Structure 1
C-alpha cells in the first residue's frame, strides 16, 4: 500500500496517474460499517481491474468547525493504526488529506473536481451519510449533480447490528461503559491502544504484580477506568495479561491517569518498547482499597479471573 499525504492545494504531479476506485470517509475506528464500504470498493475495483484508493483525513473535521477542541478530540484509531487496517483490507493507495480551514471551505463542486476527478476516480464509493460540505447541498444525493457524468457513484447503505447503526460514536459509548465484548463485536477486531513502555513508580513490583506502564496518546479514547483482561504485543508475540486504567487512588488522591499491564508469566524488561494492548473483557471497576494488603488480595482474584478467561 502506498501512502500519499496531501495538503491543499496539492501538486497534481504528486498524484498517481492511473484510474482508481476511490472510497471516501474519515473512518475513525475502521469498524464493520467502514469495512463494508471499503470492501464494496474493493469488489468494484477487482471487477473493473482498477486500483483501490481510499481518501481520509489526518484530523477530524469537528476540530476545524469548532465542534470540539483539538485537546478534547479522542480517536478510536491513531493514524498508524488506521494505515495498518487499510493495508489489511487490501487498499492500494491511501490519501491522507490535512483537514485545514482552507480545505474545509472548498465548494462542493471544487471538492469533487479536485478530490474525486483530480484523483482519477472512475468510481466514487461512500457510505450513505457521507458529506463533503454543508449537508443540505453536499450529501450523496447531490453528488451526481457535481459529478457531471465523469465517474460512477456507488452508495453503501448503513451496516446495522441488532437494529442500530454501527457507528464510531456508538463504539465510544460502549468503551465508556467498559463493554469490550460489544465494542469489539462492532469493530470487527479487538480494540487496541498503542504506546511506549516507560518507567513508573514500580509499585506493582512491590505488590507482586509488576506492570508495564504504557504511555498512551492523549488523543486515544480509553475504555472506562477499571481492570481488564488484555493481551499485550511485544515484537511479533502476543502475551496474555491483565490491565488497569485508573489513578491508583489507593495510594493517594489526585494521581495521574495511568495504563498499567501485568503480563502473565512474563519476567523480561521491556522499557522503551512500543507495544500494542488489546482490551478484551472488563473484570471490575476501579476501587479505592483500604490497604495494600486488601489490594493484593483483589489482584490475586483478578489474576484468577484472567487465567480463567483465557482457559
Structure 2
C-alpha cells in the first residue's frame, strides 16, 4: 500500500496519474461502519478495474477546532489506521495534515483542489461524512460540487442488531472508556489493541507472587477504563496470555498515578525496554481497595482463573 502525505497547499506532482475510486473519512478505529464504506469502494474499484484509494487525516479535525480539552485519545493512531487500511486491500492512502489553512477551504475548493486533483472517478463516503460545515458540506450536496466530474456514492448507516443506533467511533470510544471492551470489539469487528513500552515499576507484584510488566502507553492512545481485563500481549513477535490492571494501585495508597500492569501467565522473561502490543478481550472487574496483601492475592487468583477460562477460547 502506497502512502502519500499531503500538506496544504500541496504540489500536484505528488499525485499519481490515472483515475481512482476514492473512499474518504477520518476513520478513527476503522470500525465495521468504516469497513462497509471501504468494502463498497473496493467493489466499485474492482468493477471499474481502478486502484482503491483512501483520503484520510493525520489527526482529528476537532484538534484544530479546539474541541477536546486535554487532547484527543484515538482508537487508532496513524500507524494503526494505516495497518488496518492495508488489511482491507487499499492500494493508496492520501494522508492529509489537517491544518488551519486546510480547514479554511470552502466545500467547492476542497472538491476542486483535492477530489478532482486526485483523479477520482468515484467518491465513496458514509451517510454522515462532512468536508466542512455540515449544512453546506454534506454528502447530499457533494454531487452539486462535483458538477458531473465524478460519481458520488453514499453508504447508508450501519446499525447494530437491527436497532437505529449506528456503529460509530464516538459510541465505541464511550464503550472503551467504560471498560466494555467486548461490546467495543463487536462494533470494531476485531479485538481492540494498544501499544506501549515496558518500563520499571515498583515491583510489588513480584513480592506477591504475581510479577507484572508495567506498560507505558503513548498519550494519544485510548486506554480502556479503570479495571482488570483478560488480555494478550505481543512481545518480540509472540503472543502471551495474561491479565491487565488499569488503575491507581489504591490498596497501597491514594493518589497514585494511573498505571497499566500486566501479569503474563507462565512467563519468566525480563523484557524491560520492549515495545509491546496489548489486545483487550474481556472486562473482569473494577478496581477495589483491599484490606491487605492476603486479600489482594486471593482476588488475583480468582482473576487469573477467570482470565484463563476466557482466553482458552481464543
TM-score (norm 1): 0.97
What residue is the counterpart of 1:197 in the other structure? 198
Map 1:59-74 → 2, pairs under 5 A: 59-69=59-69, 71-74=70-73
Alignment-derived partner of residue 134 in structure 1: 133
SS at the partner of 1:140?
A: coil
Q: Give yes or no for contact 2:231–2:281 (8 Å, CA) kept in 1.
A: yes
Deviation of 1:176 after TM superposition, in Å, equals 2.3
SS in 1 for 2:229: strand
Partners of 2:114 and 2:237 lie apart in 1 by: 37
Post-superposition offset of 1:236:
2.3
* 1:232 and 2:230 matched: no
Q: Which moved more, 1:47-56 or 1:291-300?
A: 291-300
- Residue 184 of structure 2 corresponds to 183
Shift in Å, 1:147: 0.4
**Alpha-carbon offset, residue 310 of structure 1:** 2.4
Q: Which residue of 2 aligns with 1:43?
A: 43
- Is 1:16 the counterpart of 2:16 in the alignment? yes
Partner of 1:215: 216
Which residue is 2:111 aligned to? 112
Q: Distance in 1 between matches of 2:117 and 2:148?
A: 14
State whether structure 2 residue 81 is matched by structure 1 residue 102.
no
Q: Does 1:156 align with 2:151?
A: no
In structure 1, the residue matched to 2:27 is 27
Which residue number in structure 2 is paired with residue 261 of structure 1? 262
State the shift of 1:50 in Å.
Answer: 0.5
For 1:140 and 1:258, locate their aligned partners in 2 and report how far apart those are by CA, in whole Å: 43
**Alpha-carbon displacement from aligned partner over 1:185-206 (angstroms, at most 9, x marks no partner):** 0000001011111111112111
Secondary structure in 2 matching 1:160: coil
Shift of 1:211: 1.2
CA distance in 2, matches of 1:308, 1:138: 50
**1:23-48 Cα distance to aligned partner (Å, 9 max, x none):** 10000010000000011111111111
> What secondary structure is seen at the aligned counterpart in 1 of 2:267?
coil
Cα distance between partner residues in 2 of 1:152 and 1:255: 55
Deviation per CA, 1:52-74, whole angstroms, max 9, x where unpaired? 110111111111112223x3311
Shift of 1:218: 1.5
Structure 2 residue matching 1:161: 3-state secondary structure: coil
Inter-partner Cα distance in structure 1 for 2:67 and 2:129? 18
Alignment size in residue pairs: 310
Q: Distance in 1 between matches of 2:121 and 2:37?
A: 16
Alignment-derived partner of residue 2 in structure 1: 2
* Structure 1 unaligned residues grouped into runs of 5+: none
Question: What residue number does 1:89 align with?
Answer: 88
Deviations 1:250-272 (A, max 9, x none): 11111110111111111111211
